Amino acid sequence: MIENVLNATCAEVNELLKETPLSFMNESVFRFLFVKNLLRLCKECNAQIEWRRFDLLIKNSGEVIIIEFKFYSLSKSHDLDGKRQWSKGGPSSKNFREFQQCLEKLSITP
């Protein structure tokens, strides 16, 4: 189910990118699209955002799924004349460590 929702969300994002640059996308927009597709594809699912410290809680037929989205992009800040001032975005060192810990938890060693 989650894989289908993610595939539908990524397909929708790809369509949106034909008209809107990626620099306008952020984690909240992606989460909104993900939840929209979740509720469309899984009518019996219940979702709650910002559950405790996590981005998304999904309940489905007694199953509980917790999702933490990490969306890193390098966007640029501009002054009123359109001149680039500084780059913003990307993971903080704490977020990057947490991301690495998540990957380690997911890795399976034989």
Kindly report, residue by residue over 38-60, the tens digit of the pLDDT: 999 999 999 999 998 889 999 99
Report pLDDT for 110: 47
Q: What's the whole-number mean pLDDT along residues 1-16?
A: 95
Instruction: Tell me, yes or no, whether 36 and 55 share the same domain.
Output: yes
Instruction: Tell me, yes or no, whether 63 and 17 share the same domain.
Output: yes
Instruction: Tell me, yes or no, whether 28 and 63 share the same domain.
Output: yes
Instruction: Tell me, yes or no, whether 22 and 47 share the same domain.
Output: yes
Secondary structure element (H or E) that encloses residue 16, with its range? helix 2-16
pLDDT for residue 103 is more than 80: no
Instruction: Tell me, yes or no, whether 82 and 29 share the same domain.
Output: no
Q: Please list the residues that pair with 87 across neighbouring strands.
A: 76
Q: Which amino acid is at 35?
A: V
Report pLDDT for 52: 87
Task: Report the domain count for the chain.
Answer: 2
pLDDT for residue 91 is more than 90: no
pTM of the complete model:
0.72
Instruction: Tell me, yes or no, whether 40 and 94 share the same domain.
Output: no
Phi-psi group of 90: left, alpha or beta (phi > 0 → left; psi -120 to 50 → alpha; rest → beta): left
CA atoms within 13 A on the CB side of 58: 19
State the residue range of the domain holding 107.
Answer: 73-110
